Amino acid sequence: MTMTLEIAALSAGYAAGALTPETVLDSVYARIAARGERPVWIHLVPRAEAGRQLAAARARQAAGAELPLFGIPFAVKDNIDVAGLPTTAGCPDFAFVPERSATVVQRLVDAGAILVGKTNLDQFATGLVGTRSPYGACASVFDERYVSGGSSAGSGVAVGAGLVSFALGTDTAGSGRVPAAFNNVVGLKPTKGLVSTSGVLPACRTQDVVSIFAGTAGDALAVLRVAGVYDDTDAYSRKAPPSAVQPAPWPPGFRFGVPRDGLEFFGDQAAAALFTAAAARLEALGGSRVEVDFTPFRDAAQLLYSGPWVAERLAAIRDFAETKPDSIHPVVRGIILGAAGISAADAFTGFYKLAELTRRAEAEWARMDVLLLPTTGTTYRIEDLLADPVRLNSNLGYYTNFVNLMDLSAIAVPAGFRPDGVEKGGLPFGVTLIGRAFADGALAALADRLHRAQALPIGATGCLPEGPTLDTIATDTTDRAPGMVRLAVVGAHLSGQPLNHQLTGRNARLVRAARTAAGYRLYALAGTAPAKPGLVRDPAGAGGIEIEVWELDEAAFGSFVAEVPAPMTIGTVTLEDGGTVKGFLCEPIALNGAEDITGFGGWRRWLAK
């Protein structure tokens, strides 16, 4: 079996003295040499330079710096700047050598990660296929006849082939998710603005994100926790709540949406069966399946290659496209220069339509906590894709194009192989979990559970995940970020209940399910519609009341408390493990005529009586 490059495993090996970064780098460069540089790599960092990076990181570590990614090899898509290396965006005539690295690259290097090289892509990040590059067409690590996915083709293959621990891509329409599906790895597409795009060549600047390919959701989130920091040099950077990059457990009964209709597999019955199995697996993990109307999401996806967002692609490279059109791949050139006829009025029409569809989608989000979709409905042979490049590319974006337009977070995760099996050339299939903005950490925790439930290898390496599950990390009650407040909820604010949106709308994250200590009673208050619970301190109370602990920042907590109506109050609640958190309590005056429901053990069980 190939030595694993999982971040958690390497870090543990270094700490125990069982591995050295030098040995790992030697192995990485030997694997790259055996495979050949093209078409995965556009620029490979010499082994000696990687050694100099390691020496610099080791010196910082010796001086007391905390380096969470020390000795971890990584790659960068070649539309992201690295100081001293050309940025080509897959177009040699466009190349330039930046003096500074992109903010995200510098943060990773400062954290001790070792840059191995820059990877191939669909030119100017325009495509979901991996074939639109003069540096060669990338292929799936499982079958060279099939596309690798794009535009972050080389990054997906580099992780799937076990050449690096993680790789940066970019994602506008699905470029950080489709290659993950086709190479059996995780693709984390962060919320827009969570990771700086300063030093990233735009495709659609208002929609672009830097994505992360890794072997596990835990590794991807570990990278995001380093990379996801506000950058005032990036006009589109956003100040995210600390909870955005924290894992969070999902309570039993969490609601996952699947399309009521509109599921499209383009004739691929094996993919359809694998998606059905993934949905069943999520139910087995405690989820409650909810059918939703996919129409607003599907219609938003169809907007991406029309109106404002095609014009944005032209705006990014207009001077070059108009002066050197023959230097651009024919399919890419047709898409980008085709935007020249889009008027300002056309652009505003697109903005209005997207706003309308996003509002319509709100009704569906009120019914679900997460959306489960195929990452793609099918895959294609390279020869078929080249014969019909636009239509088949569009099919691959059926489930991905809307996500950034609607300001959502997403993570693509492996979901099995076609029935003929890996050893017989079977191709991987993936699903994507989609959530609200800044739900990145919570999605990663759920994706980790779904991934590990199948005992799938990382990419084509044969290595199974070795690191701790994100559930373990998420339930660590000591992991509270500075400036955050933990709040116990007992009734209408529980997951799936009518007022839960007052928490999720403030970017609160679910920390864990728990129960109160003894000394509490729960009542169903009289004269309220709908019914409301009241948690009351009572030394004689049996306690053991089901609650959920949520975490939100201090400002959000203040605004939340301001909305709490009488007779409810916010006090301090003691949990069965002896810990204390802020929580809902009820004034005793409200108990006249109330029903003592303590024996049910919680509000949900009383509602279900």
In a domain, 156, yes or no: yes
Q: Is pLDDT at 100 greater than 60 in this prediction?
A: yes
Domain that holds residue 284: 7-466
Q: Mark whether 345 and 258 lie in a shared domain.
A: yes
Given 3-state DSSP classes, what are the helix, strand and coil percentages for the chain, each rounded to the nearest 5? 35, 20, 45
Lowest mean pLDDT among 179-188, 239-248, 419-428, 504-513: 419-428
Both 413 and 495 in one domain: the answer is: no
Mean pLDDT of 147-174: 98
476 within domain boundaries: no
The residue assigned the tokens 């999401």 is 297
| Distance from C-alpha of 22 to C-alpha of 591, rounded to nearest angstrom | 68
Count Cα atoms within 13 angstroms, Cβ side, for 50. 25
Q: Is the pLDDT of residue 522 over 70?
A: yes
428, two tokens = 């991987």
Least confident of 51-55, 307-311, 327-331, 446-450: 307-311
Shared domain for 229 and 264, answered yes or no, is yes
Kindly state whether residues 582 and 460 are assigned to the same domain: no
Domain end among 466, 496, 520: 466
**What's the whole-number mean pLDDT along residues 337-350?**
93
> Between 344-365 and 308-323, two packed helices, what is the crossing angle to 10 degrees?
140
User: Considering the domain boundaries, does residue 475 fall inside one?
Assistant: no
pLDDT score recorded for residue 476: 41
Active site residues: 77, 151, 175
Measured from the Cβ of residue 403, the count of other Cβ atoms closer than 10 Å reads: 30
Q: Position 188: which residue type?
A: L
For the chain, what is the total number of helices (H) and then of strands (E)?
20, 21
Residue 471 lies in a domain: no
The answer to whether 29 and 76 have CB atoms below 8 angstroms apart is no
Judged against a pLDDT cut of 70, whether residue 466 lies above it is answered with yes
Q: Are residues 186 and 62 in the same domain?
A: yes
Q: pLDDT: is 44 or 604 the higher one? A: 44
User: Does one domain contain both 395 and 488?
Assistant: no
Q: What angle do CA 102, 106, 109 make, to 5 degrees?
A: 140
Q: What average pLDDT score do residues 177-190 get?
A: 98
Give Rg (Cα) of the chain: 25
Quick one: 586 and 520 in the same domain?
Answer: yes
* Average pLDDT of the segment spanning 270-291: 96
**pLDDT tens figures, 288-332:** 999 999 999 999 999 988 779 999 999 999 999 999 999 999 999
Using alpha carbons, select from 556, 500, 499, 553 the residue that is nearest to residue 530: 499
Predicted confidence (pLDDT) per residue in 17-40, tens digit:
999 999 999 999 999 999 999 999
Return the pLDDT at 289: 96
Number of domains in the chain: 2
pLDDT > 70 fraction of the chain, expressed in percent and rounded: 97
- Give pLDDT, residue 472: 54
Question: Which DSSP letter does residue 463 get?
Answer: P
Which pLDDT value is given to residue 540?
Answer: 87
**Torsion angle, alpha carbons of 178, 222, 104, 407, to 10:** 50
Query: 57-92 pLDDT, tens per residue?
Result: 999 999 999 899 999 999 999 999 999 999 999 999
Residue 479 located in a structural domain: no
Tell me, yes or no, whether 446 and 520 share the same domain.
no
Assess whether pLDDT exceeds 80 at residue 159: yes
**Cis upstream peptide for 567 (omega within 30°):** yes
CA angle 150, 373, 470 (to 5 degrees): 85
Q: How do 209-214 and 166-171 pair as beta strands?
A: antiparallel
Average pLDDT, integer, range 229-258: 91
* Whether residues 307 and 204 fall in one domain: yes
Q: Is the pLDDT of residue 389 over 60?
A: yes
Q: How many CB atoms lie within 10 A of CB 537?
A: 17
The reply to whether 456 and 521 lie within a common domain is no
Q: How far apart are CA 322 and CA 290, in angstroms?
A: 49
pLDDT score, position 483 = 82
Position 243 in a domain = yes
Confidence (pLDDT) at 474: 47
> What is the spatial distance between Cα 246 and Cα 511, in angstroms, rounded to a whole number?
9
Domain CATH number, residue 508: 3.10.490.10
Of 466, 493, 513, which closes a domain? Answer: 466
The single-letter code of the amino acid at 58 is: R
* Per-residue pLDDT, 512: 78
Give residue-wise pLDDT tens across range 563-572: 998 898 999 9
The per-residue pLDDT of the chain, averaged, comes to 92
CATH code at position 357: 3.90.1300.10
The last residue of one of the domains, among 406, 439, 466, is 466
pLDDT tens digits, residue range 355-364? 999 999 999 9
Are residues 437 and 371 part of one domain? yes
Residues 6+ apart with CB under 8 A from 241: 438, 507, 552, 553, 556
48 contact partners, CB below 8 Å, separation of at least 6:
none
- Inform me whether the pLDDT recorded for 488 exceeds 90: yes
Within 10 Å of residue 495's Cβ, how many Cβ atoms? Answer: 20
Tell me which of 504 and 42 has the higher pLDDT.
42
Contact 376, 399 (CB under 8 A): yes
Examine residue 594 and state whether it is found in any structural domain, yes or no. Answer: yes
Question: Is 136 in the same domain as 265?
Answer: yes
Contact between 593 and 527 under an 8 Å Cβ cutoff? The reply is yes
Q: Give CA–CA dist 343/341, Å, rounded.
A: 6
d(CA 571, CA 581): 8
- Look at residue 424 and tell me if it is in a domain: yes
